[in-house]
Structure formats: structure tokens, C-alpha cells
Chain A
């Protein structure tokens, strides 16, 4: 029996963490992740969880301690945002290379500088090559559901890679919404018990973690990470289906929204996907054949599924909430274009919402209008467009 609650995204992720009850959580405060940790701290203080809560002196140490805990066979989690993720950067790669199934909510926030506490995706996009699985969430419900699924994906023996569950800072993290959560017993059964294959605490069968790995093996180990990431595509789908049976909410690598007969479509990540759905409905009511492709898994990148989902679409607009300076397009657009290579689609790129700049329904509607202009050949797609920016 599910329970319906009113929770912010941060509280929803904290609720999932309470139910999972990991062995170790190590964290350092950064806006907008703070309230997630406040909530978890209350669970610790009230004895609702058994987790050791390690309040470290930096995000670098948060990730380092999480690595140490996970290597010791514990189910270990942390959470961060923006500059915190940037400070962790070095160890983010190391966690993945040690094949540690760490789960980390990342509450998306613009990277400094200039300093800004509001949402964009520059933080997690910067980590896209780190060998972490990235699941983007549309709302608090998905943030909750994704955290619960993330542990199953990360710990799957064919995967053993860490997972970032991302959700938009303030827009999701600080906005209350009604969502369904599992009963504690259901969630605990779902989470099960983590049994690490290797543990630092097994002194009878000692292993070395993090050895020096030179020309003769490093490449093979990187190749194995590629294979694990490939396996993750299947495992994300399997876990999403199993979670659907448990909760009534199934998940896939992506979600096609009214795409079947769409001529134009947007591709979006995170909360903007939700806003876009409303705009799509309105435009559909007005007789326009529009749709949305919401990408849930950015890593692994489901290229074939994207190509299939956008197969009938003539003009595609890709919404990027991050800039890849000096690159021909935003990070999402480049990969969507690569996935569609050889297809008939025209692809336009729209950079939006940097530093928390609002992306209103009107803005999204104007992007659809621009896609119509692109379809008509009156607007070029040579350069990315910047939505709602002055000058």
C-alpha cells in the first residue's frame, strides 16, 4: 500500500534514503542540497536509521569517505550540488574506476563563476565522462523513485558503477508536491541487503584497492567500464520494470510523450520536461503535431532508443541547460545529433535556463514556434539559440 505525502524534492530523496537506510552516509552542506541532509540528520538524530552519518569537512572528503566506506563493504551514499561536485571531481572518477556502487543525489545547480545557487545542469554535465550512471528526474516523485532504483542498478553484478540521481535545484528540490511513497517494509524488501564481493574488512582474504595501474592493464580496466555501462542500459530497464510492478510506476531509459505522429519535438532533461508536457498538450489541443522526448538516462546514453523514438519526427529541438564553451552545440544536442546521424531530422539547439533563469510555458511555446520556422526553412540551425537571454 502506497502512502501519499506532500514532500519537496529534497525531502523525497531523503525519504528514499531513510527507507534504504544505507550503512554510511558522508556529506558536506551546499545549497540546494542542504535540506536533504537536514532531513537525513533528523532521521539519524531520532534513531530512525542505522546509518553512520559522517559529517566531513569538504565534499572532497565526502566522496573520499564514501569510497572508503563502500570499499569496506558498506552501502554508502552522499549528496551534493554544483561546486561540491566539482570539488569531488577527482574522486568521482576514482569511485567509478573502483567499481563501487555508490548512489549520490545531485541537486543540479549552476557552477561558479560567477557564483549562483540556482539550477542549471553545468555541474552534472561536467561529469558526463566519469563513468557514473546519470538519471535525471522530472519531479519529486521521480527523485524518490530514482533513488530507490539507483541502488538496484548500481549494485547489479553486471554493472557495479556508481549512480547520480539528479534533480533540478530549487525547482524540484524546494518545491512541495504530492507524491506516493512505498511502505517502509516494501521499500526495505526492495532495497534488500548489499553484499559486496570484496571488502576491506575481510582481513582473512585481504585485497588491495586502488593499485597503480600502468600501460599493461589500465586500458583493459577502462574497457571493462565501457562494458559495465553498456550492461547498465539493460539493467536500468529491468529495474524500471520491476519497480513498476512494485509501485505502479514503470521507468525506462527515456519517455516518449505524444511522439507517435509528431512532426516537431523537443528533447529535454529534468523539470523542464514536465513544463514541456503541458505546452505539448496545449499545442496539441490547438491542432499542432508536437511531442516531447524526455531523457531519463543520460549515462548510459540510449542512442538507438532515441533514434527509434524520434524516427517519425521532422524537426527536433534539443533543450540544453548547460553550455559546452567552444563546442558546436550544447552537451545534450551534440549527442542527440550523433544518435540521429543518417536520419532525415533537422536538429536545432536551444540553450536555456542558465543560473536558474526561468523557462516558462511561453518560452517553450516560442521554441516550438522557432521549430516551425526551422521546418519552413526561414530559420537557420547553424548556431545554438539562447532562450530568454538579453543582448
Chain B
């Protein structure tokens, strides 16, 4: 696996001048994805921030082939492109190795695109699906998704006088994909670029479907200063809120085990979307979130042990 210095010397396949916000970590994720995957890669993305900021006609920021179809069908669209590749390759009409990467935000993956994703993974296409999870429908104005954390204030789950933000915990999407028993599933974040790019290369090198869930903080939706994006992403790992790990043919390996788990409160208090949780009457929610983080982390470690035995 190449180091960061080697990656930095590769051609940047996402051009400058796209229209993402300063501090947009989904776009950092895109750069890391393209550096890992290289130019012989077909990318597809759901409707969402990444598609919008990179493809306003007549411009495109993509130096690889790219297709945007609709909101819920990035997995199905790329599965069709991959089927075309297999067909043309079988017929001897193309011989180069090509990677197929479908992408989507949490809205396009946890919610509206889950069916197409599940179908594509079940069918066994040789493709990688990457969810850039910024924990809400950011492109349409910060509405809650199935991936939005409990307690988050969004446009559709505002911190009201009676209801303090989103009531539900997020859908365990990565576990749902593990349950598909595909060759490779991983969680990562561009906050740990080496870990993330290694996982992308591994996912692409494995024959068959692979899935990665990538936490990608959004400065506008999470309400923190834009220069803190990378740090916020890393701290999500240090709190064990977003464990980074991989599951290769069923074997779980946790990529980073913080020596000292940072209390979730430290992470929450940096983000405006959780500000209301620090009001006296809502503080119990922070305690509950901490308990849930602990429960899930402990369970992950147990599963790692079980899967290795």
C-alpha cells in the first residue's frame, strides 16, 4: 500500500475549482478515493452535494469517467456499467482493468438508495460502494436522514421547546452491509487518510462487491469552524463514536483502538448541531448517547475477537 508521500505524487483526478464549501470533507474523501483508485476508474454518484458541486454543466471536476443518474440508484447504475464491462471484456472488445465505484451520501445510501445498494451487493458485481456519510441531507438543506445521530438538530428535527432534535439512533448501515456477507466491508474517514486509502485499495483489489462507510463531516450542517473538519473527523474515531474497522471475508479487524476513549461530550460540544443537548433538561441525552457509544464499541471488540477465533 502506498504511503501518503507516494499518494501525493499521483495525479490529482479531481480538478480544482469545483464548488464545494471550504472545509467540505466529502470532497476530501473524493480526492482520497481518486488518488487510491487511479484513472482507470468509472465513478458514479447519487444526487447530492458531491454531484452538484462537481458537475455543473458545462463544467466537470472529474478527470475519470463519471455518471450521475438519480438519487437512489448509484449502485444499480454502476452495476449496469460493470455488467457492460464484463460483457465487452468477454467478447474481447476491451482488455484493460477498470475499477467501478458507486458513491452516495447518507441520504442516498441509508435511505432512498438502500434497496439498489442491497441488490447490487447481493448480485455480486465487482464494484465498490462508498457512502460519504455527513449525517444528514445536506444538499437539500440539512434534513435528518436514517444516518443522522440521536439528538442532532436538523431542519426537519429542530431543537424545539418540546422535542430536542432527532429522537432515533442512526440505522446500523455498516452492520447491514456486513450481514450481506460480501467479501469486504469497512468503516473509515478521510480524517485518517492512510487508513482510508489503504482500505480503498484493498476493497478494489478484492474480487466481488465491497462496501465502505466513510464519515465525512460537513462544516455547514454540523456547525463548526471549517478549519476543524479533519480534527472533528479524527475525534469521532477517538471517541469511538465512529470506529474505523474492516471486515474481510467475515473477519473483523478494528483499525484503531484509542488508548483513552475521549468522552462523547468533547466531540458534541464542538458542533452547533448538538448545542441544545447541553441545556440542563437535555443533558441526560448526552449520557444516553455515551452509553450507546460504549455499548456498540464493546460489542464491536467482542465481535472482532469472536470472528478471529
Contacts and interface: CB of A to CB of B under 8 A. Distances in A.
Interface of A: 23-24, 26, 50-52, 54-58, 60-61, 64-74, 76, 90-91, 94, 199-203, 206-214, 217
B274 to A, nearest CB: 32
B119 A211 contact: no
B209 to A, nearest CB: 13
Contact of A71 (B52, B81, B122): B81
A73 B84 contact: yes
Nearest to B67: A209
Contact of A67 (B52, B77, B94): B77
Contacts of A207: 65-66
B40 interface: yes
A199 B85 CA distance: 11
B57 A212 contact: yes
A151 B83 CA distance: 20
Contacts of B85: 72, 201
A72 to B, nearest CB: 4
Interface residues of B, number: 48
Contact of A64 (B39, B76, B87): B76
Nearest to B64: A206
B195 to A, nearest CB: 27
Contacts of B52: 212
A60 B76 contact: yes
B308 interface: no
Contact of A200 (B55, B57, B67): B67
Interface of B: 39-42, 44, 51-52, 55-58, 60, 62-70, 72-73, 76-88, 90-91, 94, 96, 98, 115-116, 118-120, 122-123
Contacts of A67: 69, 77, 80
Top 7 closest pairs, chain A to chain B, by CB: A68-B80, A65-B80, A57-B119, A74-B84, A72-B84, A64-B76, A61-B76
Nearest to B52: A212
Nearest to A28: B119
Nearest to B74: A64
A211 B55 contact: yes
B51 A91 contact: no
Contacts of B39: 203, 206
B51 A212 contact: yes
B86 A214 contact: no
A54 B79 contact: yes
Given A58-B116, A72-B84, 6 more contacts: A61-B119, A64-B73, A68-B83, A71-B67, A72-B85, A200-B81
Given A60-B76, A203-B96, A207-B65, A214 B84 contact: no
A68 B39 CA distance: 19
18 contacts: A54-B80, A58-B115, A60-B76, A61-B120, A64-B73, A66-B80, A68-B77, A68-B81, A72-B88, A73-B84, A94-B69, A201-B42, A201-B88, A211-B55, A212-B57, A212-B68, A213-B57, A214-B56
Given A61-B73, A210-B68, A69 B98 contact: no
A71 B69 CA distance: 10
A65 to B, nearest CB: 3
A337 to B, nearest CB: 35
A203 B68 CA distance: 16
A229 B213 CA distance: 43
B57 A217 contact: yes
Contacts of B80: 24, 26, 54, 64-72, 76
Contacts of A76: 80, 84
Contacts of A50: 87, 90-91
A217 B116 contact: no
Nearest to B91: A50
